[in-house]
Amino acid sequence: MSGKGPAVFLEQDVSLPLIHVGISTRSGADDDPPALAGLSRIAGRLMRRTAGGQSSDEIDARIDRMGASLGLDAGHSGVALSGVVLERSFGDFIGLMEEALTAPGLKEDELQRLKRETRAELMEVLDSDQHLAQRWFLRSVFADHPYGRSVIGSERSLEAITTDDVRRCLAREFCREGVIFGYAGALDAERAERVSQAIWQKLPAGDGAPAPPPEPVASGGRRLVFVDKPERTQTQILIGGIGSHPRDPDHFGLMVANTVFGGTFTARLTQEVRAKRGWSYGANSSLGYDRQRQSFSMWTFPKAEDAAPCIELELDLLEQWWQRGILEEELDWAKRYLIQSQAFARDTAAKRVGLRLDEILNDLPPGQHDQFVSLVEAVTLEQANAAIQSRISLEHMTIVVLGTYSEIGSAVRAAVPRLTSERVVPFDTE
Amino acid sequence: MSLPNATPSSNPTLLTQRLNRGCNRDRQVHHLGGYAFGPRLRIERYAMGNGLSILLVEDHSAPTVAYHTWFRVGSRHESPGKTGIAHLFEHLMFNETEQLEAGQFDRELEELGAESNASTWLDWTHYEIAVPATAFERVAELESERMQHLVLREPQVESEKEVVANERRYRVEDDVEGAVGEQLWATAFRLHPYRWPTIGWMSDIEGFTVEDCQTFYRTYYAPNNATLVIVGDIDPERVLTKLQAAYGGYRAATLPSTQLEAEPEQTAERRLELTKLTPTWKINLGYRSPALGHPDYLPLSVLTEVLFGGRSSRLVRALVRDHELAGDVRGSLSPLHDPGLFEIFVSGREGVSAEQLLECVDREMDRLLKEPISLDEFARVRARIELGLLQGLSTNEGKASTIGFYEVVLGNPSAGFDRLLGLSELDPQQLLLVAQRYLNRHSRTVIVVQPQTSSESDLSESGNGAGQ
């Protein structure tokens, strides 16, 4: 990274004639006005589709000609214009990215077309039970917090977005203080610096990274949200709440404990639900983070008749984990697994750049990924078990079940002890 | 990190001479040749006396090893009433063995930091393990143990049948596209085993016995029906020595004949209409297509890219962008041992009928049959195919998958690069002829999905298609 100039990260690897490029921002969907949910995603895509004032067709054909792909990923705390290109076409590719960032056409007709396409995407989501369950899980866990909001937006919020909103959004996100350049592959440092500098100089000045969203707070008791969809032979079940962030002193303790609970194929949850009972093809638990703590969740998808007993079992396993913790031999095994498998977190140049960017974009302590092994090694049994109790709430918990309510609703309700609220939502509710 | 460092460690022929001293015939390894794999890597082919095929690639750019085992058995080797057994068996392979308690296989792999997975398809079954290079020896012991010493008991088989039934509910019963795709193949094929799904029909999954599984295991899980592909930070001498110890005691099996009756030519369009709980109309088309090894396959794969490869491709542009009829458009050409399908899936936008979707698809298909593609389109497709191939090679896992797939289906582990070279020998006129040979309405099957937005009526089927 240079002193006064763009932040540039490069992992050189000349083994293949490919170059991965990503230009990431430090502002994203969380900074969109709530009434304009989906703005960051729309703005970034419009920018990519109108680079240099060209038509979307011309741009797509140009990308294909280069042997490249270029996309726009929008997240809560940032967006990234990123892609991969054959080494021989890098000059043209970076030129196109520059045109997108510094001279987008942002044409009105393309904006309207993009909005219609996004509405069609919203319609497609209705076919994905897994996606629908996930959507309602995040809404329930995070309620009014930005992490409960959809990055894609809604019918209504999409309708409200104008080209002026798009311009303001892009100026906020793709400003000198806010962008980070990442490269991996057959590229040398001098060229990476030079092309980054050329783009960076043409970007507007801005405010840099906005403050992160407030810390999400667990509340609301035990909530059951039943997403009612007819004719389901199978359910989608998500159970959980708020997890931890790598800044939390007990994050690595919780990571180790979760590895024992549901982080691998031989973890407790997977063994009990899948291996012993055959109830679900998948059964795992995971922790997520952004700039703040994201969710801790258990995911299973048993057939409709097994949904209630599966929920009972999951809650029982969770409670045992919370109350009795993990065992010394489980701790040792989980630590060995996490340490040994690190080889695959960094076995390509693109992954190694991704780790560096992750530290900056999600406010991790600098160098934390490089210290992963020692941080895991240092976790004690007491720390792991204390982390479960301090981070996981048994009282404030969301249980989302997607299934056919008329067939299994009452059994599911009866499977959740100490339930404080229940809500049934039709699957096609926006 | 990492500059290329792929110098072969030693002369393969001299190496095998040294390794074979004092070995019995089954345990001996023989070097059968080498192949360039891209500009800087090399595949060395070996065979053990018991028939086990071994493909090694030394690549020291990351301290990891991909250890893949391919068996030449998939759903095409099954019979009616026993569909899905190859896939069920893939699940069972993670269970108890003579030396390993239930769960120990996965537990040990996790402890080594390995990532493991498996997949079954129409022509093959594939087990993949990615492991830090230091753990290679133990992986060889674990993999060889389950190749011949699996323990099959009632509780594990029953539990795994339930898991597979749940996988089927997830991928097919409650998934519109999965259910429709299954019907497409069941309607397009009437004789060939490609007509049934790899996961199997639900009634067959429920009916499997321990004896079925034991028979399947004894028949197909033998060294002479397997290929090991080992890629990464390896020393060939160390690897071959270990493989001799791990697999050299196994005997070759007598494999059943895999000659299948060819599917009769399709002479008229087949159509099936389904009603599904989905908000929009959908169509799924399948044109009969050549096998992966057929000379027409490569030209047809170019045409697949012309139609579906990215946002500038013809059908994506026409359906999504220009006429705004579809929310999702995808196409693929099945890379199979025997002739398969050139598939098109289109999910319409709200209020757009199947007929409108089909009309738009037909317009573009007709254009493909009448006019040669432009040189610019051809150049774009070539660049996209090159990019796709290289992207798949960024990890040892990717390299091993590519090598193993082409070896098992075509018998040529470097065919991915050969195909890339073959592109330069094609021209638009040849592509036009191939389009005219395969993309005809009389040789296609069409599945139309009518949206049903409430539970008022049950799924209904009509038309001249075939079901289970």
List pLDDT tens digits, range B427-445. 999 999 999 999 999 999 9
Of chain B, the percentage scoring pLDDT greater than 70 comes to: 94
The answer to whether A88 faces chain B, any CB pair under 8 Å, is no
CA angle B28, B33, B35 (to 5 degrees): 140
CA A424, chain centre distance (Å)? 26
Report yes or no: B88 and B208 within 8 Å, Cβ to Cβ.
Answer: yes
The confidence score (pLDDT) of residue B461 equals: 38
The confidence score (pLDDT) of residue B462 equals: 38
**Inter-chain CB proximity A61 and B380 less than 8 Å:** yes
The confidence score (pLDDT) of residue B9 equals: 54
Closest CB to A129 among B158, B174, B312:
B174
Q: A17 to chain B: which residues are within 8 Å by CB? A: 390
Examine the pLDDT at A65 and tell me if it is beyond 80: yes
Tokens 């040398």: give the residue.
A188
Q: Nearest-CA residue of chain A relative to B278?
A: A127
Domain ranges of chain B: 12-247, 270-462
Report yes or no: B249 and B416 within 8 Å, Cβ to Cβ.
Answer: no
If one looks up domain B12-247 in CATH, what number appears? 3.30.830.10
Q: Quickly state the pLDDT bin for A54 (edges 50, 70, 90).
A: very high
Rounded Cα gap, residues A132 and A126, in angstroms: 7
Examine the pLDDT at B80 and tell me if it is beyond 60: yes
Examine the pLDDT at B5 and tell me if it is beyond 70: no
The answer to whether B177 faces chain A, any CB pair under 8 Å, is yes
CA angle B386, A96, B308 (to 5 degrees): 45
Q: Which of A13, A60, A127 has the highest number of chain B CBs within 10 A, making it the mutation to test binding with B?
A: A127
Rounded Cα gap, residues A67 and A80, in angstroms: 20
Q: Quickly state the pLDDT bin for A1 (edges 50, 70, 90).
A: very low
**Inter-chain CB proximity A113 and B321 less than 8 Å:** yes
Rounded Cα gap, residues A268 and A326, in angstroms: 10
**Residue B294 CB coordination number (10 Å):** 13
Examine the pLDDT at A342 and tell me if it is beyond 90: yes
Closest CB to A120 among B4, B176, B327:
B327
Four-way CATH pick for A7-202: 1.25.40.320, 3.40.50.1000, 3.40.120.10, 3.30.830.10? 3.30.830.10
CA angle A211, A217, A221 (to 5 degrees): 160
Report yes or no: A138 and A147 within 8 Å, Cβ to Cβ.
Answer: yes
The confidence score (pLDDT) of residue B46 equals: 98
Examine the pLDDT at B4 and tell me if it is beyond 80: no
Q: Comparing B12-247 with B270-462, is the CATH topology the same?
A: yes
Q: Position A413: which residue type? A: R
Mean pLDDT for the stretch of residues A260-289: 97
ipTM: 0.93
pLDDT tens string A181-236: 999 999 999 999 999 999 999 999 998 889 999 999 998 999 999 999 999 999 99
Structure tokens at A174: 């793709």
Q: What 3-state DSSP class applies to B9?
A: coil
Mean pLDDT for the stretch of residues B272-300: 97
The confidence score (pLDDT) of residue B465 equals: 41
Q: Which regions of B76-168 does DSSP assign to beta strands (E)?
A: 115-120, 125-132
Mean pLDDT (chain A, rounded): 96
**Inter-chain CB proximity A343 and B132 less than 8 Å:** yes
The confidence score (pLDDT) of residue B466 equals: 40
3-state DSSP of chain A: CCCCCCEEEEEECCCCCEEEEEEEECCCHHHCCHHHCCHHHHHHHHHHHCECCCCHHHHHHHHHHHCEEEEEEECCCCEEEEEEEEHHHHHHHHHHHHHHHHCECCCHHHHHHHHHHHHHHHHHHCCCHHHHHHHHHHHHHHCCCHHHCCCCCCHHHHHHCCHHHHHHHHHHHCCCCCEEEEEEECCCHHHHHHHHHHHHHHCCCCCCCCCCCCCCCCCCCEEEEEEECCCCCECEEEEEEECCCCCCCCHHHHHHHHHHHHHCCCCHHHHHHHHHCCCCCCEEEEEEECCCEEEEEEEECCEHHHHHHHHHHHHHHHHHHHHHCCCHHHHHHHHHHHHHHHHHHCCCHHHHHHHHHHHHHCCCCCCCCCCHHHHHHCCCHHHHHHHHHHHCCCCCEEEEEEECHHHHHHHHHHCCCCCCEEEEEECCCC
The confidence score (pLDDT) of residue B38 equals: 86
Report yes or no: B298 and B419 within 8 Å, Cβ to Cβ.
Answer: yes
Examine the pLDDT at B457 and tell me if it is beyond 70: no
Mean pLDDT (chain B, rounded): 93
The answer to whether domain A222-426 has CATH 3.30.830.10 is yes
Closest CB to A281 among B106, B167, B391:
B167
pLDDT tens string B44-67: 999 999 999 999 999 998 999 999
Interface of B with A in 301-360 (CB under 8 A): 309-312, 317, 320-321, 324, 326-328, 347, 349-350
Phi then psi for B210, rounded to 5 degrees? Answer: -60, -40
The answer to whether B97 faces chain A, any CB pair under 8 Å, is no
Q: How far is B189 from chain A (nearest CA, A)?
A: 27
State the distance between the two ends of chain A, measured CA to CA, in whole angstroms: 43
Sheet (strand B115-120) strand order: B29-37, B41-48, B53-58, B226-232, B64-71, B125-132, B115-120
The secondary element (H helix, E strand) that includes residue B377 is helix B375-391
The confidence score (pLDDT) of residue A225 equals: 98
pLDDT tens string B287-316: 999 999 999 999 999 999 999 998 999 999
pLDDT tens string B143-201: 999 999 999 999 999 999 999 999 999 999 999 999 999 999 999 999 999 999 999 99
Q: Quickly state the pLDDT bin for B454 (edges 50, 70, 90).
A: low
pLDDT tens string A374-406: 999 999 999 999 999 999 999 999 999 999 999
Report yes or no: B454 and A230 within 8 Å, Cβ to Cβ.
Answer: yes
The confidence score (pLDDT) of residue A430 equals: 85
Question: Where exactly does CATH 3.30.830.10 map onto chain A?
Answer: 7-202, 222-426
Mean pLDDT for the stretch of residues B401-418: 96
Rounded Cα gap, residues B327 and A159, in angstroms: 18
**Inter-chain CB proximity A116 and B324 less than 8 Å:** yes
Least confident of B132-141, B221-230, B445-454: B445-454
Examine the pLDDT at B456 and tell me if it is beyond 60: no
Four-way CATH pick for B270-462: 1.10.3720.10, 3.30.420.40, 2.60.120.260, 3.30.830.10? 3.30.830.10
The confidence score (pLDDT) of residue B257 equals: 87
